[in-house]
């Protein structure tokens, strides 16, 4: 069921729009300040076959079109900017400790469409240069804590401006490796494990997304050429990436707000392409530049704008905070329940 039984929005449509702007303006400032990020203009589309576009889990098909003025060259609407950001950091010569963020608007027509998924995706895409010797879990966790603190400060600002919006996030985020999560809940699916952990702790960062667990199945899939999910850490686990997951009281379920990680170096890229049987990607423009050592070592990720607004404004459906397309029965059901979909 897409809508929560008995749900009533705490904000009317007009106040919702005001609160969306306050959420985005506040979090953007908090994020850029915490991580020392500069806003950069990003593309809506990139050239097909360049290797710059993100293929997410490796199965999603990007929206494409040809440009007549360029002799019919094929372009693709971005699915995320994971690779483009790292290339931009190199081309703009950003120093260690500084980074960029951008408003990313994407289309993912292969995504399921439900209460938390939409064809339209809007997120803050960010990327930061780090030292080569900073490829470790301590750096990853420190960055996660900085992002979580920005979310907490935004939640506080909203509760100060709208008394009906309770800030119920815990003071600290809990870290747990996907391998430990599987051991704790061996009979549950990965989604069910996420819900159990989120409900137990309120907010968690699940480390290690993409590498096969003890069961032989990854917690979730990751493309082989942006996050480093195969490096073995000192703790004996694989993966320098993860997801920020919160417990959504309105839906009584987990909600992923961010996917992020330390990016692949040359060794990790070659290893992960081999594991995925995608060695042909080594000949793509983006990949050749990385293998040639032209990109700095970075950490980066994406933070869902509509997801964050939905969560902090206590909404039950992502359509309450973004304009997208929905099934007619979804809109009809929402109207009958008094739920306004933008």
Q: Please name which of 58, 64, 66 lies closest in space to residue 82, comparing C-alpha atoms.
A: 58
Catalytic residue positions, numbered: 54, 108, 123, 243, 256, 259
Instruction: Judge contact between 308 and 331, C-beta under 8 A.
Output: no
């Amino acid at each position: 069921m897409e809508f929560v039984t008995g749900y009533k929005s705490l904000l009317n449509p007009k106040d919702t729009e005001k609160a969306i702007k306050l959420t985005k303006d506040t979090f953007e400032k908090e994020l850029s300040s915490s991580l020392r990020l500069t806003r950069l203009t990003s593309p809506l589309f990139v050239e097909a076959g360049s290797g710059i576009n993100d293929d997410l889990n490796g199965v999603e098909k990007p929206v494409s079109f040809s440009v007549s003025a360029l002799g019919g060259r094929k372009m693709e609407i971005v699915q995320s900017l994971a690779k483009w950001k790292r290339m931009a950091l190199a081309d703009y010569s950003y120093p260690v400790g500084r980074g960029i963020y951008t408003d990313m608007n994407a289309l993912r027509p292969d995504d399921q469409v439900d209460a938390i998924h939409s064809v339209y995706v809007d997120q803050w895409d960010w990327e930061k240069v780090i030292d080569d010797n900073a490829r470790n879990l301590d750096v990853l966790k420190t960055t996660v804590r900085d992002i979580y603190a920005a979310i907490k400060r935004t939640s506080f600002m909203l509760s100060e401006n709208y008394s009906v919006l309770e800030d119920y996030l815990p003071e600290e985020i809990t870290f747990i490796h996907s391998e430990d999560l599987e051991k704790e809940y061996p009979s549950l699916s990965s989604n069910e494990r996420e819900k159990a952990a989120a409900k137990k702790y309120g907010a968690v960062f699940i480390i290690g997304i993409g590498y096969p667990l003890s069961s032989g199945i990854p917690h979730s899939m990751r493309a082989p050429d942006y996050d480093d999910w195969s490096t073995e850490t000192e703790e004996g686990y694989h993966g320098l990436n993860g997801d920020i997951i919160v417990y959504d009281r309105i839906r009584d379920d987990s909600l992923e707000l961010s996917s992020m990680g330390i990016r692949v170096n040359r060794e990790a890229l070659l290893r992960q392409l081999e594991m995925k049987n995608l060695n042909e990607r080594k000949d793509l423009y983006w990949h050749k530049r990385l293998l040639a050592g032209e990109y700095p070592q970075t950490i980066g990720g994406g933070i869902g704008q509509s997801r964050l607004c939905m969560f902090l404004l206590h909404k039950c459906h992502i359509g309450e905070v973004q304009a997208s397309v929905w099934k007619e029965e979804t809109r009809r059901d929402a109207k009958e329940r008094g739920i306004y979909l933008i």
